[in-house]
A and B are shown apart, each in its own frame.
Chain A
Amino acid sequence: MKGRSPRLTLTMAGLILLVALLFVADLLIGSTRMDAAEVLRSLFGNGTPGGEIIVTQFRLPKAITALIAGAAMSVSGLLMQTLFRNPLAGPDVLGVSSGAGLGVALTVLTLTPVFTLSAGSAMQGWGIILAAWAGAGAVMIIIMAVSARMRDIMTVLIIGLLLASAISAVVSLMQYFSNEAMLRTYVIWTMGNLGNISYPQIRALALSTAAGLIIAFLMVKPLNAMLLGETFSRTVGVRMKRTRAILLASASILAGSVTAFCGPLAFIGVAVPHIGRLIFGTTDHRTLMPGVALCGSAVLLLSDIISTMPGGGHIIPVNTVTSLTGIPVVLWIILGRNGIGRRF
């Protein structure tokens, strides 16, 4: 935070503290009742056997996943919004999420459950993830190929939207011809899932999102230049096509990886960058990048806590919580500040 205002440092520190608190709260609060002391004992290996499993195999992986996925999706959304200079852009506009969905649909809906579940167990935990990754990757390659040919970034956006619609149509068609069990598997995947992720999978998720985040952080200067328009960026020496390709790759890696492991966590990528801009009152990506990442983690951790409906034993899909709690917050911020248009 060298050379920045004390207010900014304070806000950033506050956010870090908030994320840490929410992380701890996510461990303490679950859908079963367990007192705080027992959770802490379990965490350090001194709890009851049942308690230890619940804390170390259920709550901890879920909290870590929320932390990573929230940051990754939000930064991916921020990159998209700046790249397209469009406040409605998000990780899903390029069809990366749809591509991941197509990969999952291909595995879940076309292969019968019998086949999928007897096709060698080593594959299964990773089957859906790899399929989603492949789907997201394929879309990313198409978009980058288009982007390399097109001068105008808006054309890329439109082609991305068309691609996403086409993929959705194919998925609908597959849903139409599949049975109830397959449909349920697919629909539950689309609702988002933070829980059923093992530690080796978390490691893979962490590594791939780290790669995406590092690339994004290295791109803060060209991103700032882009806010002033492509012509200006060129005059200050930003090589547009190359920058665009790097940003698209970063955003796709982030969104594709998270979608592969957790399903499409839609709303967070569009909304959190706005929350970040409004909290920090700046469009400077040097501040926004870490700020938005922290906000994203906080929002997803909070959504996860709410989705477990503390103590009741039931659960609601995390995606619905993110949208239903996030929309009023964003509305409140936007209406309080007379709109977000001026910031683009």
Chain B
Amino acid sequence: MAVTVLLWSCGHGGSPSNLTETVTAYAADRFTLEEMNGYTKLTVRDPWQNAHGTELYWYLLPHGAAVPEGVEEEQVIRIPVRRIICMSTTHLAMLRALDATDLLVGVSGPVLVYDSLILDAVSRGKIMDVGYEGNLNNELIVTLKPDVLIAYGVAEPAAGNTGRLPALGVKVLYNADYLEEHPLARCEWIRVFGLLTGREARADSLFREVSEAYLGLAEKVRNGNPVRPDVLLGSPWEDVWYVSPANSYTGRLIEDAGGLYLFSDLSEAHSVPFSVEAVFERATGAEIWLNPGTAESLADIGAADHRMTRLPVYTSGRVWNNRNRMTPGGGNDYWEGAVVRPDLLLMDFVSIIHPELLPEHRHYYYKRLQ
């Protein structure tokens, strides 16, 4: 709720002067940027799941500037950075939005990358595959001499391979964008990338434009006082259905697009395992079904779990997946580009849930199952 209010004020009447305030994260819960004397202090909070109260600090200094007193050299990143390794596709999207992909020297698991320019650079050997979580090619990472490696944390870094990298002289910046609950909060991480790459103003204006578009559309939906149809989300795995809580990324988008998430009463930090029977019982009232796993057709859903064919929403065919923009290898722009275009993503949601509000919109990330 606090996020909404904050965003509201930023989207409506928020002036550019906000940007120069000391604490300058509007929506994002997991980072703050503090303008200090000649440098910026970046604080990353709880960058992995169950990291209760962990704070990591980075001091972003221009090249050549003296390290401030009391700051360790290991905590300093010189900006603008010239060589970056990114572990997540969302990071790639942020660099892409800032036209900074030429700084990329390494990516993790390029098979899941969507961006054709980056894929092309990988195939030409300009960008190296550094391996993936649990199977990192540490030697390669060190020889690539990155100024910063942007990682995402699933668990404490000591448990994973990235935990060893700082000892090898690699600066590992944890990006907690995927843990942000609000789509705009995820997008706001682009400001960290802006600062790192010397494209601060561009990142700020991009974020501002996207925020205004998102909040404007959400307001239009709210003002229309629409009837909110029940929306089912996800798919079962055998007997289990991992249900996303209401305050999740997608739960938020459904709410802002004028839908009613079936589990709007579920407030947990993580998804909760429900029995398929229990979800089915609730889902009999659903009018729209989003993100049914990797299913590409209605028949796929039935084949994975025949019981789902009995759902009225299945019979009505109002089922959409987020796999409209995919590479043959499995790269999905929903997990990449959409992070910097939550406004476009919300348009997809609105046109699915309330097509009358955006009659001209053609789905970008979403696709109706046949």
Contacts and interface: CB of A to CB of B under 8 A. Distances in A.
A196 B236 contact: yes
Contact of B239 (A57, A176, A179, A195): A195
Q: Which of B274, B277, B280, B326 has the most CB of A within 10 A?
A: B277
B281 A117 contact: no
B276 A313 contact: no
B267 interface: no
A53 B238 contact: no
Given A50-B284, A125-B306, A58 B277 contact: yes
Contact of B237 (A117, A123, A179, A184): A184
B72 to A, nearest CB: 34
B237 A185 contact: yes
Interface string A302-337: 000000100001111110000000000000000000
A121 B370 CA distance: 13
A30 B304 contact: no
29 contacts: A30-B275, A31-B277, A50-B284, A54-B277, A54-B280, A57-B310, A58-B277, A114-B330, A117-B293, A117-B296, A117-B300, A122-B303, A124-B303, A125-B303, A125-B304, A179-B132, A181-B294, A184-B237, A185-B237, A193-B239, A195-B239, A195-B277, A196-B307, A313-B275, A314-B272, A314-B273, A315-B273, A315-B274, A317-B239
A23 interface: no
A204 interface: no
B161 interface: no
Given A121-B297, A189-B238, A314 B307 contact: no
Contacts of A123: 303
Given A114-B326, A117-B296, 12 more contacts: A57-B310, A58-B307, A118-B300, A121-B297, A179-B132, A195-B276, A196-B238, A263-B238, A314-B272, A315-B240, A315-B273, A315-B274
B282 to A, nearest CB: 9
A344 to B, nearest CB: 36
A196 B236 CA distance: 10
Nearest to A308: B275
B278 A31 contact: yes
Contacts of A30: 275, 277
B169 to A, nearest CB: 27
B274 A313 contact: yes
Contacts of B297: 121
Contacts of B273: 314-316
A11 interface: no
Interface in A108-131: 112-114, 117-118, 121-125
B324 to A, nearest CB: 14
Contacts of B293: 117
A205 to B, nearest CB: 15
A58 B295 contact: no
B239 A194 contact: yes
A188 B300 contact: no
A31 B306 CA distance: 19
Contacts of A277: none
Contacts of A31: 274-275, 277-278
Most buried by A among B132, B294, B296, B330: B294
Contacts of A59: 277
Interface in B5-23: none
B166 interface: no
A32 interface: yes
B277 A308 contact: yes
Contacts of B240: 188, 315, 317
B278 A314 contact: yes
A198 interface: yes
B302 interface: yes
- CB-CB nearest 7 A-B residue pairs: A124-B303, A313-B278, A315-B275, A31-B275, A121-B299, A193-B238, A195-B239
Contacts of A188: 237-238, 240
B305 interface: yes
B135 interface: yes
B221 to A, nearest CB: 30
A201 to B, nearest CB: 9
A314 B275 CA distance: 5
Interface in B258-296: 272-278, 280-281, 284, 293-296
Interface string B126-165: 0000001011000000000000000000000000000000
B305 A53 contact: no
Contacts of B305: 196
A198 B300 CA distance: 15
A107 to B, nearest CB: 13
Interface string A248-290: 0000000000000001000000000000000000000000000
A124 B235 CA distance: 15
Contacts of A122: 303
A112 B330 CA distance: 8
Contact of B135 (A176, A189, A194, A318): A176
A339 B111 CA distance: 56
Name the residue in B273, B284, B306 with the highest tally of chain A Cβ atoms < 10 Å from its Cβ: B306
B207 to A, nearest CB: 29
Interface string A190-231: 000111101000000000000000000000000000000000
A38 B293 CA distance: 32
A173 B162 CA distance: 21
A136 to B, nearest CB: 19
Contacts of A121: 297, 299-300, 302-303
B280 A53 contact: yes
